A and B are shown apart, each in its own frame.
Chain A
Amino acid sequence: MNLLNISGSPHVHSDESTKKIMWRVNLAMAPMLLCGIAYFGLNALLISLVSVACCCLFQWLIEKYLLKVPTTVCDGSAVVTGLLLAFNVPATADMIWLVAIGALVAIGVGKMTFGGLGKNPFNPALVGRVFMLISFPVQMTTWPTVGKWFPMSLDTTTGATPLGIFKESGLSDMPGLMDAFLGHVGGSFGEVSAIAILIGAIYLLWRKVISWHIPVAFIGTAFIFSGILWLVNPEQFLNPVMTIFTGGIMLGACFMATDMVTSPMSKTAQLIFGFGCGLLTIIIRNWGAYPEGVSFAILLMNSITPLLNRWCKPARFAC
């Protein structure tokens, strides 16, 4: 007979793994990918493929040749970053090669410099996105318009996003609420369809990958804050319903602010985190230079996550 194993208790494990969690997130993003392809066609598909492939490749190269550690590409986290990065860019032909640079920054600077998955203080996909937004402002704000279904041409007519329209010319030219809910508007190709994002978010809630605290606090704060502003001056400020269904609030609240690595752990801290994200988003949208502020809001809140973890301890037993 073999020798017996010994170890401390417990002797069983729930079989939960990082890999399973990451692939669940990828599965949850499938509806958004399909929606993006339906509205923006070949461009959306190619951008996603290039982004995911580059993220995986860069992670593999860095782990093999720079860090000299066993590769962790299979855990699916690079795919999550790749998809999120792709979802956050406009579906134009330029982006097919530009997104590769974004992927290098996201994986190289945003993630691997800190030691890989779990050690990064900022959401890698947002680091890549903000880098591209600042470095390639023209390409990153040239938005394709939504025309027929499944457009196969790489050339696109361009237009503005709902938030861009509002910032430029006010309420008169805004698309309808239903278009915004289904995603039939201009914008980054993963963020346009609220319904696809909600399907993914419900799946993640059901599989307990995320909890409701961050999305609800984020979206709720944005809704209430923009609602107050709208009540004060409906001419100058966008109404709260359109506010939460346009731009990146849905995608940001459900998929990026909820990133386990860069968001706080206790429920109280998560509520504060979501509140901060919502508040900063509305401030940047209304008083900042950019029409959209979700990326910056989440990155700023990422930076205080360690403090939130320190301040908001879980309730101890009998205390």
Chain B
Amino acid sequence: MKTFKMGGVHPEENKISTQAAIEVMPLPKQVVVLMNQHLGAPATPIVAKGDKVKVGQMIAEAQTFMCANIHSPVSGTVSKIEPCKDFVGLPKNAIYIDVEGDEWLESIDRTPDIKRECTLEPKEIVAKLKEMGIVGLGGATFPAHIKYSIPEGKKAEYLIINAAECEPYLTSDYRVMLEHPEEVCIGASILRKALGVPNAYIGIETNKPDAIKLMTETAKKYDGIIIEPLKVKYPQGAEKQLINAITGRKVPSGKLPIDVGCVVSNLGTAFAVYEAIQKNKPLIENILTVTGKKLPSQHNYQCRIGITYNDIIKHALGELPETTGKVISGGTMMGKAISNLDAPTTKGASSVLVMDEDEARRNPETNCIRCGKCMHACPMGLEPYLFSALVKNKRVEEAKEHNILDCIECGCCYFSCPANKPLTDEIRLGKNMVRAWMASQKK
């Protein structure tokens, strides 16, 4: 069974929302569309206050290289354009739209029919990805049209679709595989065509046997779609680890997957690509898991982007349980704690995870006993205990020499530390210090 070679941990899986079929979330009264939902520069609004917009209409345009278009997820009237606090509390420019009805652009094919043929040339596919505002849905929200424009001198050999879903709790990719296997395979075929590679490998962890079975059946109908069952180990879905698991190749420090001939996209992205290319539907919806051990019910929703977390919670749960300690966007290993529930969801959102007070509390920190568990858990072969000491003493140069920037912030070090040291937090701080120091050196 394939898996990555170095480090890794086994957090409790807690996939408790696997049985919940994807439901359609009703439209809210208002959506807030952030202009910065992707890696790179914010998009520039092309609508003004008072404008009427339709579902799928472009409302903000990518005017710089590293940017993505943004489309209206609802129909209605633009009520204002001003900064809105995102879920961690940072103000970002946003378009507020008051919802009126549900009027879609005519060009969007809303029928459930599956459209298999794609006659577009690779260049046209990439251009359409850009037009439709597709970004990577695995967490980093990297604009897809940039990823699929292979730079001069580089050659793609492998397309890898990440369906590992190694994060605890998350089940959105799993539900998409069960409910839309054809669409996912078509999306992967389109991406394969865009890159001109012979095969697309879909990596799925073996804790999802029914998804592996269904996807293997479905993939038989399509050329060059290969399902790769992967041994359950976190962080299987991290880009470098997944490439290592499936191809055996290793992306060197500071390099990109394309440097070893690989392109990795999330399963959710493949589904979004299908909808964008075959159905002309821009990226205006995502699949969200609403889950938590103490919640009365578990859900998977198809939501319009820009709905607030409070609206989702209100519809799914009524209100948060009394004993809620923490609400997380994403999984427990790499997700971000939400401080502002009035914030809207963005393209990259994958879940609303409600943790109880008991789960949300960290145990008190004690002395490092030099057990080396952090080092052996690290999938990048780094020494977290050392970074902890270096960062506390502000020894920035040494931290850089020990390759602190290679850290992928997967959280395996803190997870395995018997002394409960906040290693991942300290390393994150250290990386910022190193980047600041490097910038100051350049001047």
Contacts and interface: CB of A to CB of B under 8 A. Distances in A.
Interface stretch (A16-24, A32-40, A289-297): A16-24
A57 interface: no
Interface string A1-18: 110111111111110111
Interface string A296-319: 000000000000000001111111
Contacts of B9: 14
B370 A18 contact: no
B441 interface: no
A318 B254 CA distance: 11
Interface string B400-441: 000100100101001111111010110010000000000000
Contact of A260 (B240, B369, B416): B369
A318 B362 CA distance: 33
Contacts of B383: 265, 313-314
Contact of A317 (B368, B369, B380): B380
Nearest to A262: B370
Secondary structure at the B interface, as helix, strand, loop or mixed, is loop
A16 B366 CA distance: 12
B198 interface: no
B357 interface: yes
A119 B367 contact: yes
A118 to B, nearest CB: 3
A116 interface: yes
A12 B410 CA distance: 12
A12 B372 contact: no
B368 A118 contact: yes
Contact of A17 (B252, B253, B334, B418): B418
Nearest to B426: A8
Among B366, B368, B372, find the residue whose CB has the most chain A CB atoms closer than 10 A.
Answer: B372
A266 interface: yes
A293 to B, nearest CB: 25
Interface string B379-399: 111110100000000000000
A316 B337 contact: no
Given A16-B417, A16-B418, A117-B369, A10 B424 contact: yes
B162 interface: no
B355 A11 contact: yes
A1 B324 contact: yes
Interface residues of A, number: 36
B359 interface: yes
A12 B403 contact: no
A14 B326 contact: no
Among A4, A7, A261, find the residue whose CB has the most chain B CB atoms closer than 10 A.
Answer: A4
A14 B375 contact: no
Among A10, A117, A260, find the residue whose CB has the most chain B CB atoms closer than 10 A.
Answer: A10
A317 B333 contact: no
Nearest to A13: B415
B337 A6 contact: yes
B333 A10 contact: yes
Interface in B3-29: 6, 9, 11-12
A1 B418 contact: no
A75 interface: yes
A219 B228 CA distance: 43
B324 A18 contact: no
Contacts of A6: 88, 326, 337-339
B246 interface: no
Contacts of A116: 367
A14 to B, nearest CB: 5
A71 to B, nearest CB: 12
B328 interface: yes
A189 to B, nearest CB: 27
Interface string B329-362: 0101111111101000000000000010101111
A10 B168 CA distance: 11
B372 A4 contact: no
Contacts of A21: 369, 371, 418
Nearest to A75: B366
A141 interface: no
A9 B339 contact: no
Nearest to A265: B372
Given A315-B381, A319-B381, A9 B336 contact: yes
A262 B12 CA distance: 31
B406 A10 contact: no
A317 B418 contact: no
A316 B414 contact: no
A117 B380 contact: no
B251 interface: yes
B150 to A, nearest CB: 21
A72 interface: yes
B411 A9 contact: yes
Contacts of B416: 14, 16
Given A260-B369, A260-B370, A4 B335 contact: no
Interface in B257-271: none
Given A2-B357, A116-B367, A118-B370, A18 B337 contact: no
B327 interface: yes
A316 B253 contact: yes
B363 interface: yes
A258 to B, nearest CB: 11
B373 interface: yes
Contacts of A72: 366
A79 B335 CA distance: 39
Given A1-B324, A6-B326, A13 B369 contact: no
Contact of A8 (B327, B357, B371, B425): B425
Contact of A12 (B6, B168, B422): B168
Contacts of A265: 370-372, 375, 383, 385
B113 interface: no
A118 B367 CA distance: 6
22 contacts: A4-B341, A6-B339, A7-B326, A7-B337, A8-B428, A9-B330, A9-B334, A11-B333, A12-B333, A12-B415, A14-B11, A20-B418, A115-B367, A117-B366, A117-B367, A260-B372, A261-B370, A314-B378, A314-B381, A316-B380, A317-B240, A317-B253
Given A6-B337, A13-B362, 16 more contacts: A1-B320, A4-B324, A7-B425, A8-B424, A10-B414, A11-B337, A12-B359, A14-B11, A260-B369, A261-B369, A314-B381, A314-B382, A317-B6, A317-B380, A317-B406, A318-B251
Interface of B: 6, 9, 11-12, 88, 168, 240, 244, 250-253, 319-320, 322, 324-328, 330, 332-339, 341, 355, 357, 359-363, 366-373, 375-376, 378-383, 385, 403, 406, 409, 411, 414-420, 422, 424-425, 428
